[in-house]
């Protein structure tokens, strides 16, 4: 389970993932200003980094 979580969090830290999410939201009808897009990307990246810092490194620890 941690491997899947770690994979998802690693992908969430990538700017391309955040840009893709913004494009998907735009396609769904949500228009965000560039400033809001940057803020959301920074927040999501920081949140993913925090989660990775708090998760155990391997299955055997914790």
pTM of model > 0.85: no
Looking at residue 27, its pLDDT comes to: 84
Residue extents of the structural domains in the chain: 2-54
pLDDT tens-place string over residues 20-62: 887 888 888 788 888 988 888 888 888 888 888 887 776 555 4
Q: For residue 6, count other CB atoms closer than 10 A to its CB.
A: 15
Looking at residue 59, its pLDDT comes to: 59
DSSP of the chain? -HHHHHHHHHHHTSHHHHHHHHHHHHHTT----HHHHHHHHHHHHHHHHHHHHHS-SSTT--
Looking at residue 58, its pLDDT comes to: 65
Question: What is the distance between the alpha carbons of residues 20 and 30, in angstroms, rounded to a whole number?
Answer: 13
Looking at residue 35, its pLDDT comes to: 92
């Amino acid at each position: 389970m941690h491997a899947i979580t770690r994979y998802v969090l690693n992908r969430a830290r990538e700017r391309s993932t955040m840009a893709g999410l913004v494009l998907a939201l735009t396609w769904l009808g949500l228009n965000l200003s560039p400033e809001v897009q940057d803020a959301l990307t920074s927040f999501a990246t920081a949140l993913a980094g925090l989660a990775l810092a708090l998760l155990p490194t391997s299955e055997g620890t914790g």
